[in-house]
Structure 1
Amino acid sequence: MTRRKGKLAFIVKDSARKATYRKRKKGLMKKVDELSTLWGIEACAIIYSPFEPQPVIWPSPSWVQRALERLKTMPELELSKKMVNQETLMKQMILKVKDQVMNQRKENREKEMDLHMYRCINARKVLPNMNMNDLNDLAWVIDQNLKEVDRELEKNE
């Protein structure tokens, strides 16, 4: 059984808020450790909390300090190479969805022409209400199917 997503709201009761903080902090630290181990990357976490006087630093303060120094000394081009803002991310997502829509339209058109082809074969005539584009697409689908049949025949010979 899957866990339900809890609603995100401020927890009024102090003891419940503190308990939830401890559980989520533990889970976050585990995730950072898993990311670091599984992908072989350098990862760290710094968590400030009203419940603790000092921030929680994972894996160690000296390690985090070295990682931050390496980050500060990286060239600007290297830092910004893979960074994207919200607008760029949305544009990338829109382009990806547009490509998916175009591919789906092409696939749907091919299936529609397959259907027309089989209907024409069964009726032994061209169906009415087909315009020139439909007939051209139908001819292309028939050619593709004939090529596929030829390939299969050559493979079996």
Structure 2
Amino acid sequence: MIDACRDALIAQAVWVVQVPVAVEVGHLGLMTKLVHGESGQWQSSLMVMPLPKNDPQGYGSALTYARRYGLATLVGLASETDDDGEASMPTRNRAKAADKSTPPAASQPNAPAGLPKIDGIDYQTVAASNGKTCVIASGNAREKRPLLEQAGFRWDGNRKLWWRYAA
């Protein structure tokens, strides 16, 4: 996926930073940040995902997957049909995953229930460290600040993201 956007990012003087961050036990957090080299403006997104196995191999597998899809989500790339996520799941969890009919939040075209559809803003549902469900807003957030605040989102200056608890 990086090949699909590399030339466009370079042409616009945008660089990518991806850093693992501490999240709840048994999960991987990956902060993906796009930075415009000339203006210094940036946009970031936090991806939190469960580790398939709690060992170095499981962490590496989750990190590779998170890097690919964190970048694709932030730059708005639609991915091909992907079964490597399913293949990395333990066999007993594959049937459960196949039964889920709701696509992941990042691929849903409309805002989650109770949230306004704001042009240029994407929502991602994640688990907070306290076990509550949070919604992260990313995209053209700087220009949409008043709308995000009206929708109950708060700016986290440490993590550099807009968030709110789910309903």
Q: Tell me the TM-score normalised to structure 2 length.
A: 0.21
Q: Kindly indicate whether structure 1 or structure 2 has the higher relative contact order, using CA contacts under 8 Å at least 6 residues apart.
A: 2
Higher strand share: 2
Higher helix share: 1
TM-score where L is the length of structure 1: 0.22
- Which of 1 and 2 has greater Rg? 1
